[in-house]
Amino acid sequence: MTTAPAPHSAGSPVANPINLTVNGVGVGVPANSRVLDALRKAGFDVPTLCYDERVGPKGTCRMCLVEVEVDGRIETVASCTSFAAEDQKVETHSEELKDYRKTLLEMLLSETSAPKKFPESDDTAHSEFYRAVQEYDAKPGAVPLLERRAPAPDPNPFIQRDYDLCIACYRCTNICNEWEQAGAITVDGRGQDSKIFSFFNNNLLDSPCTFCGQCINTCPTGALTDRKLAGVDPHETEQTKTVCPYCGVGCGIELVTLDGELVGTKPDFSAPSRGSLCVKGQFASWEFVKSEQRLKYPLVRRNGILERATWDEALDLVAANFKKIVDEDGPDSIVCWASARVVTEANYLLQKFARVAIGTNNIDNCSRT
């Protein structure tokens, strides 16, 4: 038996709010807010298995249904699609709603292999779907089991696709088509025969997939997981917010560490990039930290062999060579390339160095390409 979670607070005041009550807690939300926004602001929550705020409400899973009182009548509406209204009374956890959600979850359980995999797969165990199954005490086998969807035999190195865990919520296809606009995956078939399919041979490497990873982080079941973090319990790790080191856009990432060891990265949804990453930020922005080839101190080539040097030795050598080139071929024989990944002040200094120290206007920046 589940109960409505205790409210934390009704949030900070908003200008010209719509005022309503959720489970008896008064809350004000801006105009055009959804009922879902209001109930979350009031400190409650409901499962939202088809909802990702990046692509907006779809209203298909019906897990977020709540009761609202309209003109003295009780109506049951999807809180993700319905707008909050003045003086509305919202109930999120009536006995009928809890029974309804439990039944829906048991129907979804009947089409997945999740019950067997839950203890083995950390990503699955921490999924939205499994948390809802636990919260509503949904029982595997309460509804006759259906045939499983086949896992995708996909050799891509980034995304593991266990479609036997899929509940056909279509969050992955929505995010791929409407947010990432890659159009790499689609729904094939109907009902229990429906499956997620990628162009052209159900192999992501042959598809328009950009390996942005958005389908992984929206999937509510663990059907889609990040291979590099397979088996890593998210509760055992620490996340440190930082900025992807690759290009000038500077998307937000979180470094994932386990016992002080860097084991991967995740998108930072609180950053201005709102969790969007390219394949480098999503899957490769951390491995070079451990590279044996990483440059950690100056190296000077002596007799054809790179040897460790002091900063003074290295800088004296560079300065002497610059001077030699300028003396022999003139300052315009040198071009300076600034970096998108250093601070503005450093780029300013580089153009100053080009113009004043070298004497050339040959200065450009990789961000222009």
Which positions touch ligand SF4 (CB under 6 A)?
166-172, 175-176, 180, 182, 184-185, 196, 209-215, 218-219, 221, 223-224
Which residue, 129 or 246, is less far from ligand FES as judged by CB? 129
How far is residue 251's CA from residue 90's CA, in Å, rounded to a whole number? Answer: 38
Indicate which single residue of 29, 80, 253, 271 sits in contact with ligand FES (rule: CB under 6 A): 80
SS3 breakdown of the chain: % helix, strand, coil, rounded to 5?
Answer: 30, 20, 45
221 binds, among ligand FES, ligand SF4, none (CB under 5 to 8 A by kind): ligand SF4
Q: What is the DSSP string of 10-42?
A: --S--SS-EEEEETTEEEEE-TT-BHHHHHHHT
At 78, give phi and psi (nearest 5°).
Answer: -75, 120
Q: Any contact of residue 170 with ligand FES (CB under 6 A)?
A: no
300 binds, among ligand SF4, ligand FES, none (CB under 5 to 8 A by kind): none
- CB–CB of 294/288 below 8 Å? yes
Q: Any contact of residue 219 with ligand FES (CB under 6 A)?
A: no
Strand partners, 77: 66
25-64: which residues touch ligand FES (CB under 6 A)?
48-51, 57, 59-64
Shortest Å, Cβ 197 to ligand SF4 = 11
62 binds, among ligand FES, ligand SF4, none (CB under 5 to 8 A by kind): ligand FES
Task: Retrieve residue 121's tokens.
Answer: 């797969």
Beta-strand ranges (E) seen in the chain are 18-22, 25-29, 65-70, 73-78, 89-91, 159-161, 185-188, 195-198, 224-226, 238-243, 252-258, 261-267, 299-302, 305-308, 336-338, 363-365
239 binds, among ligand FES, ligand SF4, none (CB under 5 to 8 A by kind): none
Task: Retrieve residue 130's tokens.
Answer: 């499994």
80 binds, among ligand SF4, ligand FES, none (CB under 5 to 8 A by kind): ligand FES
209 binds, among ligand FES, ligand SF4, none (CB under 5 to 8 A by kind): ligand SF4
Residue 354, SS3 per DSSP: helix
Which residues would be at the binding site for ligand FES (CB under 6 A)? 48-51, 57, 59-64, 78, 80
